[in-house]
Amino acid sequence: MQELECCILPQSILFFRRYQGLENFQIETDRAVTSTSQNSLNRRAELVHESADGKIVRKNILRTTTLIGSHEQSNLQLLASYVEPSHCVLTLDGRGFRIWDLRSKSGTFVNGERVSSARLNNGDEIRIGKFRFTLETNLSDTTREGFFIDEYRVVGILGTGGMGWLYVVEDGRTLQRHALKVLTRKAASSQVDQGELQARFVFEGRAGNRLKNPHIVEVLDYQHRHDVEYLLLELFESINLQELVQRDGPLPVEQVCSVFRQVALGLGHIHEISLIHRDIKPANILVGHDGHTKICDFGLVFLGDDPEELKLAETMGNDCLGTADYISPEQSYDSYKIDHRADQYSLGCSMYFALTGKLPFPEGNTREKINLHRSQDPAGIQSIAPDVPTEVCQIVERCMQKNPDDRYQSDLALAADLKKFATTSISISFDFEKLLRKRTHHASFRLADPKKKHYLQRIPANVASSLQAMSSQESLSDDHTTLSPPSASGIATHVPGDTSSTTEPH
């Protein structure tokens, strides 16, 4: 009687030795790569083989690809003359498993039928010569559940603002999660031209293609069609600085200095290639669990001497672009005649907010706030937060000087000063999935309000209708809390992706 002896190679490949008689094999363990994410702990997928003597062999196939063949580098090696070196391959995507025959002579069979490619389901039998396997899996096709933008299934909401909606999506082909920013179909205000929004969306995508830095959220793709325009972004699991301050109050000095040192480094890269962000504020500063910080939302990015940017300025006028609570004096006069130091002023205002929990100028309407930025100094930081060191207060004050010549002349010099007070050990506690649920519910509340049905006209029709369906399927748990929108005092954004200068009450 013939048997196959099985061992595990260092590369975690099953290896079978054939001796004589019928082809049987056994396995002691299988170390096939599996996902370590919390969501995958209950996922199961195995090829089950029953040998002639009744022994059950289970091969874990919970991986993107599983190569089956006689070659020693195959994930599942079958030593038989009729098995090709690369006989067939199993692939795993959002819809489940598919088997592909690699032009083998003897063929690959699924449920008794020879196939070149076939989608697999739980219980299907795969036969390769005399080798028979049964697929046992609890994975189901989830890629057509929910609603889609191209191949991306929306699973949650990251934010919403004057330019668009920002979603968490899953790529059905790779099961990877990304952020997807969708341009609104209609401007939120009659004073905003839709053509301008589309142009700025293009600028954001163009800038993203040039920006590659660990402290900047990466733009992966830009798509423009008649029915939808979107940016595909890196998904950085984080809490934005405004949410963090609203939740915890003023932050520790060393934590603030660490965060803004990284912001300064990110701005250094932005300014190095002659771009200006023009909307640095707490809601556009993302902080991860370990304190790693990234700048997001380039919806108001200034491309400098780009001809299309100059054409837009001529068409729309030299408007005041930015957020009133954080805008520099020179940017409020003419948002096209600025340099990198305008972003530095906004950084100073944001740092002021993180250290004190208060805006530099909390009173008044938008016009009054802008006038205060031009003419007045804010209350001293130590009058609100006495424990902040004088040297740190001086850094913020220097960033917020009315005259750009009195500010730091380079972002690296600012980062160097902040480094003196920064900590290298930060731990930020937050539940990212819970944050997504809060934001989804917050958006659904606005959609459900009859007075705010105009929101349905600000996003693509398929997304709007499906968002209502998705929110209706979720129930509010006992521990549910809703993010309070910024007060009328004017914190302009409360979620990443918002570049509006006003907020609407919850």
With 70 as the cut, is the pLDDT of residue 456 above it? no
pLDDT tens figures, 16-68: 322 223 333 332 233 333 333 334 447 789 999 988 788 888 999 988 889 99
What is the per-residue pLDDT for 83? 93
State the sign of the Cα–Cα–Cα–Cα dihedral 416, 377, 333, 195. positive
Contact present, 240 and 496 (Cβ < 8 Å): yes
CA–chain centroid gap for 28, Å, is: 40
pLDDT above 80 for 489: no
Structure tokens that stand for 292 in this block: 């790693």
Q: From CA 77, how far away is CA 86, in angstroms rounded?
A: 9
Residue spans of alpha helices (H) in 299-431: 307-316, 329-333, 341-356, 366-375, 381-384, 390-399, 411-419
End-to-end CA distance of the chain: 76
Which residues make Cβ contacts (< 8 Å) with residue 219, sequence separation at least 6?
A: 204, 205, 207, 208, 209, 211, 231, 232, 233, 234, 298
- pTM for the complete prediction? 0.64
| Sign of the Cα pseudo-torsion (261, 262, 267, 269, in order) | positive
pLDDT tier, 335 (very low <50, low <70, confident <90, very high otherwise): confident
What's the whole-number mean pLDDT along residues 413-419? 97
- Residue pair 303/271 in contact (Cβ under 8 Å)? The answer is no
- 229 vs 495: which has the higher pLDDT: 229
Per-domain residue ranges of the chain = 45-137, 147-432
CA geometry: angle 293, 298, 300, nearest 5 deg: 135
Q: Which structure tokens are listed for 117? A: 């490619």
Mean pLDDT of all residues in 344-351: 98
pLDDT of residue 368: 92
Residue 189 has pLDDT above 90, yes or no: no
Class of domain 45-137: mainly beta
Mean pLDDT of 152-168: 81
pLDDT of residue 43: 79
Name the one residue in this structure whose structure tokens are 């997807």. Answer: 180
Rounded Cα distance, 471 and 432, in Å: 18
Spatial CA neighbour of 325 closest among 292, 279, 356, 269: 279
At 276-304, the pLDDT tens digits run: 999 999 999 999 999 999 999 998 898 87
d(CA 242, CA 197): 25
Question: If DSSP codes are grouped into helix, strand and coil, which group holds residue 97?
Answer: strand
Task: Specify the CATH superfamily of domain 147-432.
Answer: Transferase(Phosphotransferase) domain 1 (1.10.510.10)
